[in-house]
Structure 1
Amino acid sequence: MLFSRDRKYRHNTRLTGDRKGDLYPSSLQFYQHPPTENISLIEFETFAIERLKLLKAVENLGVSYVKNSEEYSKKLELELRKLKFPYRPLHEEISDDVYDLRRKDHISHFILRLAYCQSEDLRRWFIQQEMDLFKFRFGLLTKESVQEFLKLNDLQYVAISEDEKNMHKEDLMNSSFGLSLTKMEDTEFYKVPFQAALDLVRPRKVFLWRGFAFIPHKDIVSIVLNDFRAKLSKALALSARSLPVVQSDERLQPLLNHLSHSYIGQDFSSQSNTGKISLEQIDGFAAKSFPLCMRQLHKSLRENHHLRHGGRMQYGLFLKGIGLTLEQALQFWRLEFTKGKVDSEKFDKVYAYSIRHNYGKEGKRTDYTPYSCMKVILSNPPSQGDYHGCPFRHSDPELLKQKLQSFKVPSSGINQILELVKGMHYQLACQKYFELTHSVDDCGFSLNHPNQYFAESQKLLTGSREIKKEQTARDSPAVTASQLSSSSSSASIPKSQSSAPEMEDLEQIFSEY
């Protein structure tokens, strides 16, 4: 794939590349052939961000609703439409619009492969979300479309003939739960080598005969998913080997790193609220409106009168984002540190510079932005004596439980949070913490940023935002480790937010080179 630095971006620009319908004969793909056409950097950025939004929507819906339920399917279909990704069956007329959607789906998948092949945690998250997306799309295929898809992807799963079905009629009925004689006549069965269907053979859900498993149409997806997982896992491993070559390209390296730690939401770097809080309000805000990570840092600072560098950076930028001015920040940190072992002279010499630096008044004069949830979770894990990081990600479960109990979180809610943490859905655990501490059933937003948590809490507490107390049908909170979320961070963002700020940020990244 070649790239050009096209600086002129139009939101509805026609996609580039040769318009060959045979490149994308299906809206459902195994993504076996990497794209080879030219693509602009603007398209590269746009495709990557929009697919990331889609995968995070898939993740959040999978935890919030029963997978493949009517509500789940409706909401996921809405996300696919909104982000303009294909999902319809194969026999869709390949118009220019359909071609563009399929091309975007294909290229964006390979871009995120490069971003998410960089660690085992990232790979696991990417595979899980892609599998859930694939399963949803596969479920929309008709019987004829399934056979066509199997053929297109060289999967030797042959639909048995009527004669063979009649020959094994009784065995097929006995092995398939809830299958009556009438239903069996309308059900397609596929003959699959038994070793490819071990997930169905183990619980005795299929009929075995002469080394083959006879799979009903409704279960063939599990076999295809196993193939999809195996191929994608191998492809990610190969992509990881080629990373040094890709990262040597100064145009792509910063973007790929950004994507794997990405935050796709409101930009909290703007200081429109600067000076709107006072130092006297911070303790009250910490108790009511701070996310657990910042509440933990604030508590430690008040008790120990000191924070190490990682904690000062994470907490200091958060305070900056909620409206603390530079003068207030210097006063806040000086007052607290001088209560401990740091005198005013040492504070001015050692610590004041870094605070001014965060506000863009020293060094490169960069106006640093508060850390997103993804950055808190993935970068600079805390060591002994540190209090930064994400408590849901970095705390021992028993210690986390005690911490939640000390903050008066109800036991039933603590169990729900711990189940989400067990499934590595860290941001969803924080979102559940918001709901429990604000006494709402559905917070009405997708949590991506500590400053977003604060802003939404203040809107709710001041009455400027009303959250509907409406209990949604949720999936069982018990999630296995194999359902690893969001790059070990479980960045769950189902409701996509405005992409304007992040597009500007990415554009700025490229302009630095």
Structure 2
Amino acid sequence: MEFSSRARQRHLRLAGDRREPYPHSLQFYQEPPTESISLAEFESFAALAEDDYDARRKDHISHFILRLAYCQSEELRRWFLQQEMDLFRYRFHELTDSLRQKFLDHVNLSFEAVSALLSGFVLRRVCLMLFKIVGLSDAVDLFRARRVFIKDGFAFVPLKDIDAIVLNNYRKNLSKALALTARSLPSIQSDERLQPLLNHLSHSYVGPDYSVQKNTGKISLEHIDALSVKSFPLCMRQLHKALRENHHLRHGGRMQYGLFLKGIGLTLEQALEFWKKEFIKGKVDADKFDKGYAYSIRHNYGKEGKRTDYTPYSCMKIIMSNPPSQGDYHGCPFRHSDPELLKQKLQSYKVPPSGVTQVRHNLFGALFNEALFLNFISY
């Protein structure tokens, strides 16, 4: 396609205008969008595309939509903050050195190079590394961990640790912004068009629907051990392993794992047999099991109480409700486990080193890591 001189100038001017609001693919989301968008766009802006103008615009707007949805309670704010931190960390690490510096300039975090302050003194070890100079208040966490050199009220931060400074700034800004957004909720909640959408967003799950029952009765008890190793999600594999080792699970674990087994096809009769055999191996005799545990299993299958035919927990329910305490094995390992313990667990399950690294550092949240794990295990 050929352009006249005037048309070419207009084309370049328009391209420049589109780049101006989003000069970088990464941002701190400090300024809310001011343009008008349709309700259809409002509902659909929750995924990212490539690094072009449209993707950056969608990223910007979708962040503020999700901020509205997830500021409605302290629990939701904590969860959203953690997911945003994980996503930001991943995207910051993916930047090239030049793009990383461009981003730091863009958010006014352009730290002074160490060479400018070394004229008055010489430190051989310092000179061998690339450092940035920041204010001491920006490097408190690194200072506590003794990972920085302090002089005259400044912190000398190794270039490899500069992400800690950036992440700390992002966390402080976003945490404050979420609190301020929560204060504005009453005006948003009065809009009958938006509030149902926001409520849906904060409790929605976009992964596979594991609550739909399929293949009922098509697995047998002798297959469960093999299936737990090659096909179970990590949360269920963890529960199965704990049950086999301890011959018992607390209520949260029994509910999460019991409904999962029901969902993959275990009949009521098989479930009663499975749990009874395992508990008898522990400290529960047959009579105690029949009186104390069989009722809840029949209840899950809709044979007791309200006669509700319960479905397995969704990933969102596992992540967001009833966090495990000491002695519990339920919950989501990617959400509730100590990172080092999670690393050891993945290694013990023969996940390759590249997979462990990807799960630990390329974080998009617990749901993303569950999908990664299922990709890495052998079927």
The TM-score normalised by the length of structure 1 is 0.48
Query: 1:40-439 counterparts in 2 under 5 A?
Result: 43-44=41-42, 46-48=44-46, 50=47, 84-86=49-51, 98-114=52-68, 118-119=74-75, 121-122=78-79, 123-134=81-92, 136-137=94-95, 139-141=97-99, 145=102, 150=105, 152-153=106-107, 155=108, 170-171=119-120, 177-178=127-128, 196=138, 203-204=148-149, 224-242=166-184, 249-258=195-204, 262=205, 265-282=207-224, 291-297=237-243, 303=247, 310-325=252-267, 328-329=270-271, 339-341=286-288, 352-356=298-302, 362-363=307-308, 368-372=311-315, 375-381=317-323, 388-389=330-331, 421-423=337-339, 426=342, 430-435=345-350
Distance 1:247 1:213, change over 3 A: same
Q: Greater relative contact order (Cα 8 A, min sep 6): structure 1 or 2?
A: 1
**Do 1:293 and 1:391's aligned partners in 2 also have CA atoms closer than 8 Å?**
no
SS of alignment partner, residue 28 of structure 1 = coil
**Deviation at 1:391?**
7.8
The amino acid across from 1:376 in the alignment is I
The amino acid across from 2:301 in the alignment is I
**Deviation at 1:102?**
0.7
Distance 1:310 1:246, change over 3 A: farther
Indicate which of 482, 485, 492 corresponds to 2:369: 492
**Deviation at 1:103?**
0.7
**Deviation at 1:298?**
5.7
SS of alignment partner, residue 250 of structure 1 = helix
Distance 1:294 1:379, change over 3 A: farther
In 2, distance between residues paired with 1:159 and 1:214? 10
In 2, distance between residues paired with 1:341 and 1:220? 58
C-alpha RMSD over aligned residues: 5.4
**Deviation at 1:291?**
0.7
**Deviation at 1:315?**
2.0
Distance 1:236 1:173, change over 3 A: farther
**Do 1:326 and 1:356's aligned partners in 2 also have CA atoms closer than 8 Å?**
no
The amino acid across from 1:431 in the alignment is L
In 2, distance between residues paired with 1:197 and 1:352? 56
Distance 1:204 1:356, change over 3 A: same
Q: Deviations over 1:70-92 (max 9, x none)?
A: xxxxxxxxxxxxx5242xxxxxx
The amino acid across from 2:321 in the alignment is S
The amino acid across from 1:368 in the alignment is T
**Deviation at 1:310?**
3.4
**Deviation at 1:368?**
1.9
Q: Which runs of 5+ in 1 are unaligned?
A: 1-18, 51-82, 87-97, 180-186, 395-420, 436-440, 443-470, 499-513
Q: Deviations over 1:88-117 (max 9, x none)?
A: xxxxxxxxxx22111122123334434555
In 1, distance between residues paired with 2:109 and 2:274? 68
**Do 1:28 and 1:134's aligned partners in 2 also have CA atoms closer than 8 Å?**
yes
In 2, distance between residues paired with 1:112 and 1:343? 47
How many residues are matched? 335
The amino acid across from 2:180 in the alignment is L
In 2, distance between residues paired with 1:309 and 1:156? 49
Aligned residue in 2 for 1:28: 26
Distance 1:173 1:215, change over 3 A: farther
The TM-score normalised by the length of structure 2 is 0.61
**Do 1:271 and 1:321's aligned partners in 2 also have CA atoms closer than 8 Å?**
yes
The amino acid across from 2:312 in the alignment is T
In 1, distance between residues paired with 2:50 and 2:57? 9
In 2, distance between residues paired with 1:330 and 1:156? 61
**Deviation at 1:223?**
5.3
In 2, distance between residues paired with 1:490 and 1:178? 41
Using the aligned pairs only, state the percent identity: 42
SS of alignment partner, residue 29 of structure 2 = coil
Q: Which runs of 5+ in 2 are unaligned?
A: 1-16, 280-284
Q: Deviations over 1:45-73 (max 9, x none)?
A: 5543x3xxxxxxxxxxxxxxxxxxxxxxx
**Deviation at 1:343?**
5.0
Q: Deviations over 1:136-166 (max 9, x none)?
A: 43734286x46xx63x54x385879xxxx8x
Q: Deviations over 1:443-494 (max 9, x none)?
A: xxxxxxxxxxxxxxxxxxxxxxxxxxxx54976x9x9xxx9x887x696257
